[in-house]
Structure 1
Amino acid sequence: MNVKTFLSLSIVLSLSLGSNAFAFDKAAFFDAALCKPAYSTKSATKMYNEAEKLAKADTSLLAAAVYKLPADFGHRGFKTSELMFAGTSFGVLVEGLRADDLAKAYQLKSDGLGNVLGTATKSYGRALPKAEQPAADMGVVSVVARESSAFPGKTLLACEFVSNEDLEAMKQLQTK
Structure 2
Amino acid sequence: MTKILEIAVRSGLARACRDGTCNGVIGNPSSHDSAVIWDHILNITASLSLGTILALSLGSNALAFEKSTFFDAALCKPPYSSASATRMYDEAEKLAKADTSLMTAAVYKLPADFGRQGFEADEVVFAGTSFGVLVEGLRADDLAKSYHLSSDGLGNLFGTATKSYGRALAKAEQPAADMGIVSVIARESAAFPGKTLLACEFVSHEDLEAMKSLQSQSK
- TM above 0.5, yes or no, is yes
Question: Partners of 1:156 and 1:137 in 2: how far apart?
Answer: 27
**Residue 22 of structure 1: how far off its partner (Å):** 5.7
**Structure 2 alignment gaps of length 5 or more:** 5-47
Question: Partners of 1:77 and 1:135 in 2: how far apart?
Answer: 34
1:26 aligns with 2:67: yes
Among 101, 123, 132, the alignment partner of 1:60 is 101
State the percentage of identical aligned residues: 77
Question: Partners of 1:117 and 1:50 in 2: how far apart?
Answer: 33
Question: Partners of 2:118 and 2:171 in 1: how far apart?
Answer: 29
The one-letter amino acid paired with 1:35 is C
RMSD: 2.0
1:69 aligns with 2:129: no
Name whichever structure is richer in helix by fraction: 2
Name whichever structure is richer in strand by fraction: 1
**Residue 23 of structure 1: how far off its partner (Å):** 2.9
Q: 3-state SS of the aligned residue for 1:29?
A: helix
Quote the residue 1:169 is aligned against: 210
Mapping 1:135-146, distance limit 5 Å: 135-146=176-187
Quote the residue 1:132 is aligned against: 173
Question: Partners of 2:79 and 2:183 in 1: how far apart?
Answer: 9
**Residue 138 of structure 1: how far off its partner (Å):** 1.1
1:35 aligns with 2:76: yes
1:98 aligns with 2:108: no
Quote the residue 2:11 is aligned against: none
Among 171, 183, 188, the alignment partner of 1:147 is 188
Question: Partners of 2:180 and 2:152 in 1: how far apart?
Answer: 16
Question: Partners of 1:96 and 1:22 in 2: how far apart?
Answer: 32
Question: Partners of 2:131 and 2:62 in 1: how far apart?
Answer: 25
Q: 3-state SS of the aligned residue for 2:125?
A: strand
Greater relative contact order (Cα < 8 A, sep 6+): 1
**Structure 1 alignment gaps of length 5 or more:** none
Deviation string 1:129-172 (CA, Å, 9 cap, x unpaired) is: 11100233111000000000000000000000001011000100
The one-letter amino acid paired with 1:78 is F
Q: TM-score, normalised by structure 1?
A: 0.88
The one-letter amino acid paired with 2:162 is T
Question: Partners of 2:121 and 2:108 in 1: how far apart?
Answer: 11
Quote the residue 1:82 is aligned against: 123
**Residue 113 of structure 1: how far off its partner (Å):** 1.2
1:117 aligns with 2:164: no
